[in-house]
């Protein structure tokens, strides 16, 4: 029987020691992404020889790393006390730290960047099942995984978090996970489309059709001959001058209501907040204290619109407080 590409299961767990498998469990660590891709990046070294027979002795594997992309619908939690969203650990593996909001019971989970903190990393198990054999699968293990992220939403689309990163190759083997033991989030925690979204800048609500927020962080690989497959570590970093970029497709307003031009030219920074409420009542809020308006172009879908870029900035020279993500 062949391996069915669409019979798939993903487990994830934060590592205690970088690159060391913490053994994700079928009963507690199953997650339900919207999409997933893992395509190994394998480097080869040619081994030519010069002799009377013009022989070639083949190639040798030099290094292996695994680019990863995982996408989730952005939802919070309807449990009380509130538990971490299933993709919250991916935010922690993106250079962010989590702080519980409220006490007795916990009412929210807040994520912020912390460049000087020890970066969390995770192990992923990707099961790809054999057709006709519910418990037979190939198990792909990826260790030390870290990510960058972006999120997006629109009036006719769900709010999504997309994590793009990389992991260390941990091997492939046959596995027999007990499918009946998989525990996924309840469907009642599904998200909603953009009709439940609000976006405010400087205390003024702005009408938007769609948005994209990019974290401005990137994932790098630390190549080393000490690594099992030529890669010692995957880590999250930011280039000098990196920005957290926000793009909005928004309606043009009168100057008396909101002067886009004056705000852009003055280079003034404003408080901002995006709030997304799911059908079940959970809320995802992304906010910051310093949002600067950037360039724009006109769009036309029958209504005059702006396609405008914004930049979320830190409030000072210390800390990473350009944006926070709260699930409540």
Confidence of residue 147 (pLDDT cuts 50, 70, 90): very high
Summarised one tens digit per residue, pLDDT across range 65-105 is: 999 999 988 877 666 677 788 888 999 999 999 988 887 78
Confidence of residue 184 (pLDDT cuts 50, 70, 90): low
Cα 114 to Cα 39, 96, 214, 311: the distances in Å are: 29, 6, 17, 18
Alpha helices for the chain (secondary structure H): 88-92, 260-266
Mean pLDDT value of segment 222-249: 86
pTM of the model: 0.90
The residue ranking higher by pLDDT, 60 or 280, is 60
Mean pLDDT value of segment 267-276: 86
- Asked whether 65 and 41 are in contact (CB, 8 A), the reply is yes
**Structure-block tokens of residue 310:** 């914004």
Model pLDDT, residue 5? 65
**Structure-block tokens of residue 173:** 């083997």
Mean pLDDT value of segment 48-60: 76
**Structure-block tokens of residue 31:** 């997650």
- Rounded to 5°, the CA angle 233-173-18 comes to 20
- Tell me: pLDDT of 188 over 50: no
Mean pLDDT value of segment 98-122: 84
CA–CA gap between residue 21 and residue 38 (Å, rounded): 18
Alpha helices for 113-236 (secondary structure H): none
- Tell me: pLDDT of 233 over 80: yes
Q: Provide the 8-state DSSP code for 260.
A: H
Q: Provide the 8-state DSSP code for 95.
A: T
Instruction: Give Rg (Cα) of the chain.
Output: 23
Mean pLDDT value of segment 148-161: 88
Q: Decide: helix, strand or coil at residue 156.
A: coil
């Amino acid at each position: 029987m062949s391996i069915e590409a669409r019979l798939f299961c993903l487990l994830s767990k934060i590592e205690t020691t970088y690159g060391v498998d913490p053994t994700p469990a079928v009963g507690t660590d199953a997650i339900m992404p919207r999409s997933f891709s893992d395509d190994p990046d394998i480097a080869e070294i040619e081994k030519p020889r010069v002799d009377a027979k013009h022989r070639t002795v083949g190639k040798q594997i030099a290094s292996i790393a695994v680019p990863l992309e995982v996408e989730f619908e952005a939802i919070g939690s309807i449990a009380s006390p509130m538990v971490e969203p299933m993709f919250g650990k991916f935010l922690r593996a993106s250079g962010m730290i989590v702080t519980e909001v409220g006490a007795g019971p916990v009412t929210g989970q807040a994520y912020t960047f912390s460049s000087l903190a020890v970066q969390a990393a995770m192990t992923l198990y990707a099961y790809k099942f054999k057709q006709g054999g519910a418990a037979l699968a190939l198990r792909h293990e990826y260790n030390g995984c870290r990510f960058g992220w972006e999120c997006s939403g629109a009036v006719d689309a769900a709010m999504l978090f997309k994590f793009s990163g990389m992991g260390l190759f941990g091997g492939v083997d046959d596995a027999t996970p007990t499918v009946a033991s998989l525990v996924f989030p309840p469907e009642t925690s599904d998200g909603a489309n953009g009709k439940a979204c609000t976006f405010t800048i400087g205390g003024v609500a702005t009408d938007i059709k769609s948005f994209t927020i990019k974290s401005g962080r990137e994932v790098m690989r630390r190549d080393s001959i000490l690594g099992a497959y030529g890669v010692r570590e995957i880590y999250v970093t930011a280039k000098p001058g990196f920005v957290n970029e926000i793009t909005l497709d928004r309606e043009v307003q009168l100057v008396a209501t909101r002067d886009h031009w004056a705000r852009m030219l003055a280079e003034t920074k404003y408080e901002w907040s995006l709030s997304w409420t799911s059908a079940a009542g959970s809320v995802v809020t992304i906010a910051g204290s310093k949002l600067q308006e950037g360039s724009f172009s006109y769009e036309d879908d029958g209504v005059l619109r702006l396609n405008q870029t914004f930049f979320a900035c830190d409030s000072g020279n210390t800390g990473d407080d350009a944006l926070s993500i709260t699930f409540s």
